[in-house]
Each structure stands twice: as structure tokens, then as C-alpha cells.
Amino acid sequence: MKSFLLVPKESIETQAKPGVRGTAQGERVLSRSTALRFSAAQKAPDALTALGLRSATLPGMKPEVSGQAQRGRKRARGKKVTDVDATPMPNAPVTEQAGTEAGSYRFMPLIGATMAHFYSQDAEAAARGELAAEFEFIPDVVPLSFPGPVSAGQTGPRNRGMSSLATREWPDESGVPLAHAQGIRGAGVMLGILDTGVDADHPEHASKTIQFRYVSLFPNSPHNPARDVRGFDPDGHGTHVCGIAAGVHHGVAPEVDLYAASVIESETIRTSLGRVAAGMEWLLHQFSRPENASRPAVVNLSLGFPLQPPPGISEADYLLNQRALQAMLRRLLDSNILPIVAAGNSGPDTVGYPAAFPEALAVGAVDFERNVATFSASGAVGRRVVPDVMGYGVNVYSSTERRCNNQAFYERMSGTSMAAPYVAGIAALYRCRAPDLTALEVRDLILANAIKLPRSANHRTGKGLAVFR
């Protein structure tokens, strides 16, 4: 089986065609449901349907699986059947449960793409013949993951606490205490998190309703559907990120409405372009509901591509994956959503993606004394300098997991993955105070109000430390 993200060539290179915005300059309050239009996008699902691929766009009855009917007939005749494929062998790779059709696809209109799985080379060749002139076929082969482990000495102790702190740690200079004193706590703002998940029953999050989607290993297959369930987190990373941005006791913006999609596995801390696309489409779908379509929104992504093409992956495929992710970030901005991403933990003179995309607000890490973390990634790609801004990302105390007896854990963790949700919380405070500001205006406000940091011999620090003023 091969998987491809089919993206119209017109959309991977250009801005979306805007819908009705009311004025020549564009409405301050943008209705996302009319924001994006790609003339070629619908052609992909139509062509794939005609070629015999099954749509996973809408829920429905599961199709018959190869061999299922034959096994059923054998059992009906009373013969004992040993199904060697029913139980996978230990350490066997996880594979998609494929159907009898030529393949499957999921149309994602809000990001203007279609994810297609082909179960045979003939089906793939036929699809290329129909669509290659107008669509990029982007192979879903380059893994994404959240930034790697940080340098020794700046990680902080694990499992340090089993209760919340008496007060939030955010220094007065951050502006967070002032914002909260003024009643600015993120109310009315939607915050999307793409990560390992969130423990919705942790004391840091249990008092609010969290919209949550688990995006499966094969999210675009009708046989392995994504699910909206009670929020869970097999790793703890996503729960920590959510606690920093939106936790009741520790969060920068504790009153935001939280939308979390689990797109990263705990064992490998890796994900795929298809899973990120499915998670982002779900976020846009939630944000575009009639009751949400004009509300301000922020999205936090603590994930990225490796700095170089992995072994066995061609540079051409690597660059195609990058361009597709960049197009998705562009869709967020087109929909008046500010994307905030972690710069990475590989140190100075390293620039990763998506942090290096101009559409992203890239965040590096400092400690609570404003010292730049040794692991904080920085660098330049052409005229693009990374990071744009810094956030607190060293030994940050936040929620992680619970024991089986329901005892909650809080831990100190370090990384630009911690700095990014701090800045996402700051962005939510600005959007709470002035919900009519556009995403780009909020970005400019964060950069203009940043506290300048001393020059560093090794690190770039962008505009400085993000704060609320």
C-alpha cells in the first residue's frame, strides 16, 4: 500500500482564493466557512471515486475485508479454521486493514487536499494518469516528531510533584499576572493543540470540556477511522503542553476553549504528514462550525521534520513533504488562525521545519532568568531568521499523567515544546483582549512587545521574550 497527499498545484504555491469578506481590506472578523476556495480540489475525490477507491470522508458501514467472507463460509460449513493473520506476531509492523476495493481516500476541503491510499500499483498509475497534471502526489514517507531530547543539565527532575503549585510560576515581566488581574484569561478564544493528546481527567484540565480527536495510524482509511473520544495521552507530552497554555492552575490562558488532536505515538514520538493533515482538517472543521466561525483562534504545533532527509528518502520527496506542510500552515493564516511552532532542540545554527516557514511564529526557549537554553534551535534560511521570539522553556512545571489510583503527576520539563505553548497562551491573551485583531496583527503585536534580550555569541533570539502588555 502507498499513501499520497494530493494537493492542487495552484494551492501549494499560492494563497487561497478568499471568499466574501465584506471590504476591500478584509473583514476583521473572518468567517472561516467561506474563507477557502480551490477550484481543482474537488476533482481528486471525484476521480478517485470513479477509479473504485472507497471514500473515508463520511462515516458509514465498514466494507467487507479481503478474506473475511471466505473465512465466514468455512466456519459456516463447521470446519475448524486456523487464521494465521488474525493475531499479529510480536514485533510485527502495524499494517492497515485493507479492503477489497482499489484503495481509499479522505477529502479534506478545508486544507484543500485529499489523502489517498492505493492498494495496488495499477490503481496508483490510473490515478496519476487522471490527476498528475493538476495535483502534486506527495508521498507520505517523511516522519515528523516533536523536538528531540534537550541537553543534559537543563531537563529538570521527572515526577517532581504530585500537586499543583500554590501560584503560577510566570514572572511579573511576562505580563500574565497583570492580564489575569484584569480579567483577561483567554475566554472566547479557541486553542488547538496537535500533540500526543491530553489527559482530560487530570486536575489541571478536568473542570473544562475539551474537544478531543484521536487520529489513528491510518486516519484516512474507512477501516481505521479517527475517533472523537474522551481525551487521553499515552505519553504525557501533550498534557504538559496543554497545561502550560491552558491549565486551570498553571496555564497562561486558563479560560480558552481547548481543542486537542492526538497525532503522535508515545513509543516512537513520530507522526506522518497524513496524520497531521487529518488533525489540522479536524481543527479547521471545529473552528468553522457556525458558532465558532468568527471566533479568534490559535494553533500550537510542537512537531517538525528532521533537518535532513532520513535514510532511504529522496531529497525530492523530502521537499514535497515540506511544501505540503507549508501549504497547511498557509491555510491556517488564510482562516485567521495564528500558527505557533517550536523552533527545535538541536541548538544554534540549526533550522528545522515548520519553524523556518514564514507562515509560522517560531519560538525558542529561555529559562526564567532570561538565559537562552543551550538546546534552543536557531539559524537562518535566506532572509528568514529563526526563531521569531522566545518563551520560557526550561524546567517548566506542568501536568503530565496520573497513576492508576488517580494520583496526578506534575513534572518539570524543558524544550522549545514548552516555550511554544507559553507563547500560544500569550497570543490567546491578546486575542481575548482584542478579538477583532487578525492573526497577522496579533503576531505583529507579540513581536513589537517582546522584551529584548542581550546579544548571544551562539544563539539567535529573534525579537526577544514574548510577553503580554
| Alpha-carbon gap, residue 354 to 325, rounded angstroms | 7
DSSP letter string, 257-276: EEEEEE-S-TTT-EE-HHHH
Cβ neighbours for 10, distance < 8 A, ≥ 6 positions apart:
38, 39, 40, 134
Verify whether residue 237 is a known catalytic residue: yes
Query: Which 3 state secondary structure label does DSSP give 409?
Result: strand
Number of alpha carbons in the 13 Å side-chain half-sphere of residue 252: 34
Verify whether residue 235 is a known catalytic residue: no
Can you name the residues that pair with 297 across neighbouring β-strands?
190, 337
Whether residue 250 contacts residue 400, with contact meaning beta carbons closer than 8 Å, is answered with: no
Verify whether residue 202 is a known catalytic residue: no
* Residue entry with cell 481525551: 231
Active-site annotation holder among 33, 174, 335, 417? 417
Q: How far is the CA of 411 from the CAs of 158, 230, 236, 319, in angstroms?
A: 6, 23, 10, 37
Q: For 218, which DSSP code? A: S
- SS3 of the chain: helix, strand, coil, percent, to 5: 25, 20, 55
Which three cell numbers, joined as nine digits, stand for 229? 473520544
| Alpha-carbon gap, residue 303 to 436, rounded angstroms | 29
Active-site annotation holder among 237, 240, 249, 459? 237
User: How far is residue 299 CA from its own chain's centroid?
Assistant: 8
Identify which of 356, 338, 277 has the alpha carbon closest to the alpha carbon of residue 113.
277
Cβ neighbours for 71, distance < 8 A, ≥ 6 positions apart:
81, 83
Identify which of 444, 446, 429 has the alpha carbon closest to the alpha carbon of residue 296.
429
DSSP letter string, 323-380: HHHHHHHHHHHHTTEEEEEE--SS-TT---TTTTSTTSEEEEEE-TTSPBPTT---EE
Active-site annotation holder among 140, 195, 334, 388? 195
Cβ neighbours for 369, distance < 8 A, ≥ 6 positions apart:
none
Active site residue ranges: 195, 237, 417
